[in-house]
Amino acid sequence: MEYAVQHTASLTLPARPRGRVWRRRTPEIVAAGLLAPSLAFLAAFTYWPVLTTALRAFTEQGFGQRPTWGLGNFARLLADRHFLAAAANTALYTLGTIIPSLVLALGFALLLRETTRLNAILRTMVVLPMLIPLVGAAALFSFILLPGAGLLDWYLARLGIGATNWLGNPDLALGAIIGITIWKNTGYYMLFCLAGLAGIPEEFHEAARLDGAGGWARLRHVTLPLLGPTIGFLVVLGLLNGLTQIDHVVVMTQGGPSDSTNMLLYYIYQQAEQNYDAGLAAAATLVSVTMLLALAVLALRGLERGIHYES
């Protein structure tokens, strides 16, 4: 009995073949190897800049002084009238571009939904501004809006309207910038609306029509709820564009006149590259990104209440 116990205790389990373990881990190793370059680029060009910007925003450093932690950059930011003007302009610009662009895009999508030769030509005309770079569009409209000699003033003169300084008047400059953005983005948004309309089953419209629903009722109770995911995506995209699209501002007005077209991103550029105030620029960046995320979440949650997903 004692010999049997000792003999049993001396037995050891056979070692697992290393080749089998390697074969089981091969997919994981291959996946890690394929993802490693992307993760390295994300860490170097996304996560590290975000981290350094956040640290710089909470770091106060005067000329010739040692850096200290604090909220001084945010206090200076909120006391800067140029930042407040840029924030107000960005809010007006975002609202003034998202709502008209979505309404026009949905209207064009509904009118050009059917596939015909004429509709194909009209779709191309609506989408054509999307192919023009924003810098090129800004340069083009700089000549169109030229006071007295521009194409717009030439047509207005035929109607008896005098020359107007569209980009030099603080009351009109932001509206001109908004109009260019609407012209540029409507065709792009229309493509998403056309894709969303193509995904709505025609049986829903037929059922509503049999129930006696008119065109407006079908649009309100069938089309718009089923387009909820598309509209939610376009709203978030519009918020992002409202914060990042400043090419036309740089080319046409450079934030003027009198800060009437200054945007948050251009304000950040001014503080970082012209005034060499990296702390204030970092604080403005952090505030802008936080507001963008908050508005995007609120917009998505608000639209989620009216969204209907097809099962």
Domains of the chain from N-terminus onward: 74-304 (1.10.3720.10)
10/133: higher pLDDT: 133
Q: Which helix (H) or strand (E) holds 184?
A: helix 173-198
Q: Residues 40-83: pLDDT tens digits?
A: 999 998 889 889 988 888 988 766 667 778 888 999 999 999 99
Q: Is the pLDDT of residue 15 over 70?
A: no
Structure tokens at 18: 């290393």
The HSE-up count of residue 206 (CA atoms within 13 Å, CB side) is 3
% of the chain with per-residue pLDDT over 90? 34
Least confident piece of the model among 118-127, 262-271, 291-300? 291-300
10/200: higher pLDDT: 200
| Cβ atoms of 167 and 253 closer than 8 Å | yes
pLDDT of residue 21: 55
Strands 59-60 and 68-69: antiparallel
Q: What mean pLDDT do residues 251-261 have?
A: 90
- Is the Cα dihedral 190, 194, 200, 202 positive or negative? positive
218/79: higher pLDDT: 79
Buried b (16+ CB within 10 A) or exposed e, 91-125: eebbebbbebbbebbbebbeebeeeeeeeeeebee
pLDDT of residue 304: 65
